[in-house]
Amino acid sequence: MMYWKAARFRDTDWQARVLATDSPKEQKRVGNGTVGFTAESWDEVKSAVVEAGNIAKLSQNPHLGRKLLETGNRLLCEAASRDRVWGIGYTAKHAMT
């Protein structure tokens, strides 16, 4: 996602930095530095970017896709206290209470 965020704003330096990282946490930190970023422009495409990324990930890893399907109709969410776009706004500890 962060790679495509940088691509949206034609920030090739940040694209390369995102690709050079190994951890999603570090990719998020690096991606948040995208030069020229505007929320309005990113909001236009972010859901499609994440959907395409998830489809690619699950297509390349059938085992992971099966694990996701095994969750049935359960609500899946990220316990991220500082992320109200992709997270639920709570830590894992507080989400369980």
> For the chain (length 97 residues), average pLDDT per consecutive 10?
94 93 88 90 96 94 95 92 88 84
Q: Which domain holds residue 8?
A: 2-95
In the chain, the percentage of residues whose pLDDT exceeds 90 is 65
What's 71's DSSP letter?
A: T
Rounded distance between C-alpha atoms, residue 70 and residue 77, angstroms: 15
Number of Cβ within 10 Å of residue 66's Cβ equals 10
Q: Say how many domains are in the chain.
A: 1
